[in-house]
Amino acid sequence: MATFDKSGIQNMNYLTELRKYVGHRPLLMVGATVFVFDEKGRLLLLKRRDNQCWGPPGGAVEPGEVVEEAAKRETLEETGLELDELSLYGVFSGEDQFYRYPNGDEVHNVTIVYLAHVQGGEVQISAEHTDWGYFPPAEIPSEISPPIIPILKKLLHRLSK
Protein backbone atom coordinates (compact mmCIF):
# COMPACT_ATOMS: atom_id res chain seq x y z
CA MET A 1 0.00 0.00 0.00
CA ALA A 2 1.50 3.32 -1.03
CA THR A 3 1.61 6.06 1.57
CA PHE A 4 2.04 9.76 0.94
CA ASP A 5 3.50 12.56 3.01
CA LYS A 6 1.66 15.82 3.72
CA SER A 7 2.88 17.32 0.44
CA GLY A 8 1.48 14.41 -1.58
CA ILE A 9 4.87 12.82 -2.35
CA GLN A 10 4.88 9.03 -2.21
CA ASN A 11 6.95 7.57 0.65
CA MET A 12 9.33 4.74 -0.15
CA ASN A 13 9.57 1.93 2.37
CA TYR A 14 12.26 3.26 4.66
CA LEU A 15 13.82 -0.09 5.61
CA THR A 16 13.87 -1.34 2.01
CA GLU A 17 15.66 1.81 0.91
CA LEU A 18 18.11 1.63 3.85
CA ARG A 19 18.96 -2.00 3.09
CA LYS A 20 20.35 -0.89 -0.29
CA TYR A 21 23.16 0.82 1.63
CA VAL A 22 23.73 -1.44 4.66
CA GLY A 23 22.90 -4.87 3.31
CA HIS A 24 22.03 -7.40 6.04
CA ARG A 25 23.84 -5.52 8.85
CA PRO A 26 21.81 -4.95 12.05
CA LEU A 27 19.42 -2.00 12.04
CA LEU A 28 17.45 -0.44 14.86
CA MET A 29 13.79 -0.87 13.93
CA VAL A 30 10.80 0.70 15.63
CA GLY A 31 7.78 -1.54 15.29
CA ALA A 32 4.11 -1.28 16.17
CA THR A 33 2.28 -4.47 17.14
CA VAL A 34 -1.33 -5.03 18.18
CA PHE A 35 -2.78 -7.84 20.25
CA VAL A 36 -6.30 -7.93 18.79
CA PHE A 37 -9.01 -9.67 20.80
CA ASP A 38 -12.43 -10.80 19.64
CA GLU A 39 -15.64 -10.66 21.69
CA LYS A 40 -14.81 -14.08 23.22
CA GLY A 41 -11.41 -12.91 24.49
CA ARG A 42 -9.49 -14.88 21.88
CA LEU A 43 -6.26 -13.49 20.43
CA LEU A 44 -5.84 -12.96 16.68
CA LEU A 45 -2.63 -14.48 15.32
CA LEU A 46 -1.30 -14.62 11.77
CA LYS A 47 1.07 -17.23 10.35
CA ARG A 48 4.01 -15.50 8.65
CA ARG A 49 4.96 -16.68 5.18
CA ASP A 50 8.70 -16.01 5.70
CA ASN A 51 9.36 -18.01 8.88
CA GLN A 52 6.17 -20.09 9.20
CA CYS A 53 5.64 -18.76 12.74
CA TRP A 54 2.60 -17.15 14.32
CA GLY A 55 2.36 -13.60 15.59
CA PRO A 56 0.05 -10.62 15.93
CA PRO A 57 -0.37 -7.99 13.23
CA GLY A 58 2.31 -5.34 13.18
CA GLY A 59 5.27 -3.91 11.39
CA ALA A 60 7.77 -1.12 11.03
CA VAL A 61 6.95 2.49 11.75
CA GLU A 62 7.85 4.72 8.80
CA PRO A 63 9.72 8.02 9.33
CA GLY A 64 7.32 10.75 10.44
CA GLU A 65 4.52 8.29 11.11
CA VAL A 66 2.65 8.37 14.42
CA VAL A 67 3.15 4.98 16.11
CA GLU A 68 -0.57 4.50 16.86
CA GLU A 69 -1.36 5.20 13.20
CA ALA A 70 1.29 2.67 12.16
CA ALA A 71 -0.30 0.05 14.43
CA LYS A 72 -3.72 0.61 12.89
CA ARG A 73 -2.29 0.79 9.34
CA GLU A 74 -0.35 -2.46 9.72
CA THR A 75 -3.39 -4.23 11.18
CA LEU A 76 -5.60 -3.00 8.34
CA GLU A 77 -3.03 -3.95 5.68
CA GLU A 78 -2.38 -7.40 7.13
CA THR A 79 -5.92 -8.36 8.18
CA GLY A 80 -8.51 -6.03 6.65
CA LEU A 81 -9.68 -5.17 10.17
CA GLU A 82 -10.33 -1.72 11.57
CA LEU A 83 -9.58 -1.31 15.26
CA ASP A 84 -11.28 0.55 18.06
CA GLU A 85 -9.24 2.61 20.48
CA LEU A 86 -5.71 1.34 21.13
CA SER A 87 -4.50 0.78 24.67
CA LEU A 88 -0.73 0.86 25.21
CA TYR A 89 0.44 -2.48 26.56
CA GLY A 90 4.19 -1.92 26.68
CA VAL A 91 7.45 -1.05 24.97
CA PHE A 92 9.90 -3.91 24.48
CA SER A 93 13.59 -3.76 23.59
CA GLY A 94 16.86 -5.45 24.45
CA GLU A 95 18.66 -8.64 23.52
CA ASP A 96 15.50 -10.73 23.23
CA GLN A 97 14.22 -8.35 20.54
CA PHE A 98 17.12 -9.09 18.17
CA TYR A 99 15.96 -10.97 15.08
CA ARG A 100 17.55 -12.36 11.93
CA TYR A 101 15.02 -12.69 9.13
CA PRO A 102 15.15 -15.77 6.88
CA ASN A 103 16.71 -13.59 4.15
CA GLY A 104 19.61 -12.66 6.50
CA ASP A 105 18.49 -9.13 7.40
CA GLU A 106 19.18 -8.37 11.07
CA VAL A 107 17.25 -5.98 13.32
CA HIS A 108 17.24 -4.84 16.92
CA ASN A 109 13.54 -4.22 17.51
CA VAL A 110 12.00 -1.58 19.70
CA THR A 111 8.46 -2.94 19.73
CA ILE A 112 5.55 -0.80 20.89
CA VAL A 113 2.63 -3.07 21.68
CA TYR A 114 -1.04 -2.17 21.93
CA LEU A 115 -4.21 -4.01 22.93
CA ALA A 116 -7.36 -3.52 20.87
CA HIS A 117 -10.69 -4.95 19.78
CA VAL A 118 -12.09 -5.04 16.26
CA GLN A 119 -14.26 -2.11 15.23
CA GLY A 120 -15.11 -3.37 11.76
CA GLY A 121 -14.16 -5.47 8.78
CA GLU A 122 -13.62 -9.15 8.12
CA VAL A 123 -10.29 -10.95 8.24
CA GLN A 124 -8.61 -11.04 4.85
CA ILE A 125 -4.92 -11.78 5.30
CA SER A 126 -2.23 -10.17 3.18
CA ALA A 127 0.38 -11.93 1.05
CA GLU A 128 2.75 -11.75 4.07
CA HIS A 129 0.77 -14.51 5.77
CA THR A 130 -0.52 -17.99 4.99
CA ASP A 131 -3.08 -18.52 7.75
CA TRP A 132 -4.86 -16.83 10.63
CA GLY A 133 -6.99 -17.67 13.62
CA TYR A 134 -8.41 -16.48 16.90
CA PHE A 135 -6.91 -18.47 19.77
CA PRO A 136 -7.98 -18.79 23.40
CA PRO A 137 -4.99 -18.02 25.65
CA ALA A 138 -4.64 -21.71 26.59
CA GLU A 139 -4.46 -22.76 22.91
CA ILE A 140 -1.82 -20.41 21.50
CA PRO A 141 0.32 -22.24 18.89
CA SER A 142 3.86 -23.12 19.97
CA GLU A 143 5.46 -21.84 16.74
CA ILE A 144 5.60 -18.13 17.65
CA SER A 145 7.83 -15.65 15.81
CA PRO A 146 10.96 -15.30 18.01
CA PRO A 147 10.81 -11.60 18.97
CA ILE A 148 7.13 -12.02 19.94
CA ILE A 149 7.77 -14.92 22.35
CA PRO A 150 8.83 -12.84 25.42
CA ILE A 151 6.07 -10.30 24.78
CA LEU A 152 3.41 -12.99 24.41
CA LYS A 153 4.64 -14.80 27.54
CA LYS A 154 4.21 -11.59 29.52
CA LEU A 155 0.71 -11.09 28.10
CA LEU A 156 -0.34 -14.67 28.84
CA HIS A 157 0.99 -14.34 32.40
CA ARG A 158 -1.05 -11.16 32.83
CA LEU A 159 -4.20 -12.82 31.42
CA SER A 160 -3.83 -15.80 33.77
CA LYS A 161 -4.10 -13.62 36.89
Task: Say whether 155 sits in a helix, a strand or coil.
Answer: helix
The answer to whether residue 48 sits within a structural domain is yes
Does a structural domain hold residue 138? yes
CB count within 10 Å of CB 79 equals 24
- Phi, psi angle pair for 94, to nearest 5°: 110, -175
Q: Indicate which CATH number applies to the domain containing 65.
A: 3.90.79.10
DSSP string, 130-158: EEEEEE-GGG--S-B-GGGHHHHHHHHHH
Q: What is the pLDDT of residue 9?
A: 39
Q: What is the per-residue pLDDT for 77?
A: 94
Q: How far apart are CA 32 and CA 74, in angstroms?
A: 8
7: number of Cβ within 10 Å: 5
Residue 12, in any domain of the structure: no
Looking at the structure of the chain, the number of domains it has is 1
pLDDT in tens, the chain (161 residues): 444 444 333 345 888 889 999 999 999 999 999 999 999 999 999 999 999 999 999 999 999 999 999 999 999 999 999 998 999 999 999 999 999 999 999 999 999 999 999 998 999 999 999 999 999 999 999 999 999 999 999 999 998 88
Q: Is residue 10 part of a domain?
A: no
pLDDT at residue 12, rounded to an integer: 52
pTM of the model: 0.89
CB atoms within 10 A of CB 34: 27
Show the domain range for 65: 24-160
Q: What is the pLDDT of residue 95?
A: 97
Identify the pLDDT of residue 3: 46
Tell me whether residue 9 is in a domain: no
pLDDT at 67: 97
